[in-house]
C-alpha cells in the first residue's frame, strides 16, 4: 500500500509542512484524494525514520507498510485541528516497538547494510568538490554511528533530533516522564558523539 508521489511533496521544508485543516477533515471522512495526500505527505519521512531504526531497508519497508495500515484503520480518530505529526509517529513507534518485542526479532536481528537511511543530502551547488566529499563522509559516519547505538538510543535521537518532536510528546509516546526522556536523550547523544568521533578519526579527520 505504498502511496503515490506528487502531492504535498517537495524538497526540504516542504516535507515538514503540515496539511491544512480542510484536508485533515476530509482525511477523517476518508475522502480518497485527501487520504492519498495524507499518506503521500508522510510516507518518505516515516520510511526514513523506520529505516534508521531497523538498519534493514526491506524490513523498514514492511514496517512502514504496517504503520500505514494501522493509520488507515484509525484515521477517522485524527484531530483535524492539530498537527497530526506526533499522532502519526506514535502509531509508527508502537509498530516498531511491537516488532522489537516479537519472537522473530528476539531470536535473531538481521544486520543488513542500509542503503538509504532517509538522511537529506547536505550539499548544495555552491560547495566545492572537497567540501561535498567531506559532507558525504560525515553522513556516512553519522549512519555508522547511529548503527552502533542500541535500539532505544537510536529511537530517542530520531524522535527528538530528526523528527523534532517535543520532549513532552516523546514522553507520552514512550510512556516515560519528560525528565526521564531528557536524561535518556542526553546519554544517547553522548554515545552518538563518541561513536561519530571514532569513525571520523578513522578517516583522518
pLDDT in tens, 7-66: 343 433 434 456 899 999 999 999 999 999 999 999 999 998 888 887 788 888 999 999
Q: How far is CA 140 from the centre of its chain?
A: 17
**CB-based burial of residue 12 (10 Å sphere; 0-12 exposed, 13-18 middle, 19+ buried)?**
exposed
C-beta of residue 159 within 8 angstroms of C-beta of residue 170:
yes
Q: Which fold has domain 1-113?
A: Rna Polymerase Sigma Factor; Chain: A (1.10.1740)
pLDDT in tens, 133-184: 455 456 677 778 888 888 889 889 888 888 888 898 888 888 889 999 999 9
Q: What is the pLDDT of residue 141?
A: 76
192 vs 174: CA distance, rounded Å: 20
Comparing 22 with 200, the larger pLDDT belongs to: 22
Domain(s) of CATH 1.10.10.10: residues in the chain: 127-205
Q: How far is CA 156 from the centre of its chain?
A: 10
The CATH number of the domain covering residues in 127-205: 1.10.10.10
Domain(s) of CATH 1.10.1740.10: residues in the chain: 1-113
Q: Model's pTM, two decimal places?
A: 0.58
C-beta of residue 93 within 8 angstroms of C-beta of residue 155:
yes
43 vs 39: CA distance, rounded Å: 6
Q: Sort residue 33 into left (φ over 0), alpha (ψ -120 to 50) or beta.
A: alpha
147 vs 111: CA distance, rounded Å: 10
Q: How far is CA 155 from the centre of its chain?
A: 9
Amino acid at each position: 500500500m505504498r502511496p503515490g508521489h506528487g502531492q504535498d511533496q517537495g524538497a526540504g521544508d516542504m516535507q515538514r509542512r503540515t496539511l491544512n485543516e480542510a484536508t485533515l477533515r476530509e482525511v477523517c471522512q476518508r475522502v480518497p484524494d485527501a487520504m492519498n495526500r495524507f499518506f503521500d505527505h508522510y510516507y518518505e519521512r516515516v520510511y526514513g525514520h523506520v529505516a534508521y531504526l531497523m538498519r534493514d531497508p526491506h524490513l523498514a519497508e514492511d514496517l512502514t507498510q504496517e504503520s500505514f495500515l494501522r493509520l488507515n484503520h484509525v484515521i477517522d480518530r485524527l484531530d483535524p485541528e492539530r498537527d497530526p505529526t506526533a499522532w502519526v509517529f506514535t502509531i509508527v513507534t508502537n509498530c516498531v516497538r511491537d516488532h522489537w518485542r516479537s519472537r522473530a526479532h528476539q531470536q535473531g536481528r538481521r544486520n543488513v547494510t542500509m542503503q538509504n537511511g532517509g538522511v537529506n543530502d547536505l550539499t548544495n551547488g555552491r560547495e566545492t568538490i572537497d567540501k561535498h566529499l567531506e559532507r558525504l563522509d560525515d553522513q556516512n559516519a553519522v549512519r555508522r554511528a547511529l548503527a552502533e547505538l542500541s535500539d532505544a538510543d537510536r529511537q530517542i535521537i530520531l524522535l527528538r533530533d530528526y523528527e523534532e518532536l517535543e520532549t513532552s510528546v516523546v514522553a507520552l509516546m514512550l510512556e516515560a516522564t519528560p525528565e526521564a526522556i531528557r536524561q535518556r536523550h542526553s546519554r544517547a547523544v553522548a554515545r552518538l558523539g563518541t561513536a561519530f568521533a571514532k569513525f571520523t578519526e578513522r578517516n583522518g579527520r
